[in-house]
Structure 1
Amino acid sequence: MSVLIVIPARYASTRYPGKPLVGLTGASGETRTLIERSWRAANGVKGVDRVVVATDDDRIRDAAEAFGAEVVMTSSECQNGTERCAEAHAALGGGYDIVVNLQGDAPLTPSWFVEDLVDGLRSDPAAEVATPVLRCDGRALNGFLDDRKAGRVGGTTAVFGAARHALYFSKEVIPYTSDLYADDAETPVFHHVGVYAYRPDALSAYPGWDSGPLEQLEGLEQLRFLERGRAILCVEVAARGRQFWELNNPEDVPRIEAMMAEMGME
């Protein structure tokens, strides 16, 4: 099955304008933009036929082409990354069996997250979309709770049923637990990793659906699939000692750089 990775990137982020071009300094002291680090992560995934950056901004296009990325220009009317992926796939002529949305704010995404995601979608014919979830240890969960107390959106959590099909995603920490966890303790909370694999029919249908109330309230694009009764497979992935964090706010830059330094990521 042919696989296309699309990295959607827009300049006019509500929470962090210009985010794709923010510099992140690695363990070696070298600074690369967020979009370049995301592109490098995508190119480290095995079994992928093509990687493109999808944007509506000339500044992002110029920066991406400068480090060697293939760029597809998309409309400024795209409401989110899924719509941008759908437009990019159509612009490329379609034909891919699986389209992966590797959002450009997750430069720490390990290659095996995406590989496991594609394998999961291949093995579950009932699922139209797949997305990875990572069981939080106490350190990650406490980071989420600290962010919420401070009024920041630190990440998204997911709950799913016995077939591992998603029940809900939220920017609040769900499910609720009153327990306290040590940094290295396993918790019942799953961090939703912002990567998606779509079957092309579901992806092409998505832009034609109206945004529902849950998507609007949470600001989470994947809820449009759930509100339409479409099955999203939650694929549990293993950290293998890697830390993971998304860049949502300016405060996340030093946090991610500290993680990169600790893991020795250049």
Structure 2
Amino acid sequence: MSTLIVIPARYASTRYPGKPLVEIAGAGGVKKSLIQRSWEAAQAVSGEARVVVATDDTRISDAAKGFGAEVVMTSEACVNGTERCAEVVDTLGDEFELVVNLQGDAPLTPPWFVEALVKGLREAPEFDLATPVLRCDGATLASFRKDRAAGRVGGTTAIFGAGNRAMYFSKEVIPFCAEDFAPEAETPVFHHVGCYAYRPDTLRAYAKWPQGPLEQLEGLEQLRFLENARPVLCVQVEAPGRVFWELNNPTDLPLIEAALAAIGQE
């Protein structure tokens, strides 16, 4: 298979310990762990792809194997999901055209987001990796602002320039705009969705670079690429009729459950 989809998952999350094993109720009250819902999101991607869960924790490994996932054990030294993906590539030893990092805390990631990344990177050989961005509506922007005012991270935002080349990513709401927007109105703010498609050579190089100051300050793994002058393609995606939430904090759980119920996903 030319594409590898890796779902990185760790138990010792600073903000939400044990997050991959948290049970999330879908439509009809069906409960599944976060890691299972993320794996099912990967399985929904069209095309031939090998899907693996990458973890350093036996509890997550046992749970993943229990619902039929392939698991690759990785080192506790991995500081983020991208480093974990790089280790998986080295462990498997297979030659893949592209490697996708589907974050283990984003079960609402639509399959067409991943498909758009793969297509975008194949068509833009000048870029080393691709990541999706989603234009915020007024309601989402208001939620991000509310979270930041309360000292929480509601989501990561992105700015990009000509050719959709990434300029910066931040846990702050950027670019600054003082205007208030109606709930369904378009805004100039783009939500960065934590999903990536890499070229394997770039992924291997990433693991050898030290963490830069911006990555350390923001806690955003993708900034290491920008700090090493690697071009990142922002692929604009849409999710009409759907909301997109990552499980960053316990307060996100009811939002994700409501979103699953709204689309009828068990």
Paired residue for 2:250?
Answer: 250
Superposed, 1:40-55 pairs within 5 Å as 40-55=40-55
2-structure distance, mates of 1:162, 1:55 = 37
User: Aligned-pair distance for 1:116?
Assistant: 0.4
Paired residue for 2:59?
Answer: 59
1-structure distance, mates of 2:254, 2:231 = 36
Runs (5+) with no aligned partner, structure 1: none
Superposed, 1:178-189 pairs within 5 Å as 178-189=178-189
1-structure distance, mates of 2:51, 2:242 = 23
Paired residue for 2:241?
Answer: 241
Runs (5+) with no aligned partner, structure 2: none
Q: Which amino acid aligns with 1:246?
A: E
Contact 1:100 1:197 in 2 (8 A): yes
> Structure 1 residues 24 and 185 mapped into 2: Cα distance closer, same or farther (>3 Å)?
same
Paired residue for 1:131?
Answer: 131
User: Aligned-pair distance for 1:94?
Assistant: 3.1
2-structure distance, mates of 1:171, 1:37 = 25
Paired residue for 2:13?
Answer: 13
Superposed, 1:1-266 pairs within 5 Å as 2-266=2-266
Q: Counterpart of 2:28 in 1: which secondary structure? A: coil
Contact 1:5 1:48 in 2 (8 A): no
User: Aligned-pair distance for 1:5?
Assistant: 0.1
2-structure distance, mates of 1:183, 1:50 = 39
User: Aligned-pair distance for 1:239?
Assistant: 0.8
Q: Counterpart of 2:260 in 1: which secondary structure? A: helix
- TM-score, scaled relative to structure 1: 0.99
2-structure distance, mates of 1:49, 1:134 = 24
Report percent identity of matched pairs: 68
1:65-85: per-residue Cα shift (whole Å, max 9, x none)? 000000000000001000000
Q: Which amino acid aligns with 1:56?
A: D
Please, what is the CA RMSD of the aligned residues? 0.8
Q: Counterpart of 1:208 in 2: which secondary structure? A: coil
Q: Which amino acid aligns with 2:99?
A: V
Q: Which amino acid aligns with 1:63?
A: A
User: Aligned-pair distance for 1:263?
Assistant: 2.2
2-structure distance, mates of 1:89, 1:103 = 16
1:183-236: per-residue Cα shift (whole Å, max 9, x none)? 110001000000000001100011110000000000000000000000000000
User: Aligned-pair distance for 1:264?
Assistant: 1.8
Equivalent residue pairs, number: 266
Structure 1 stretches of 4+ with a deviation exceeding 3 A read none
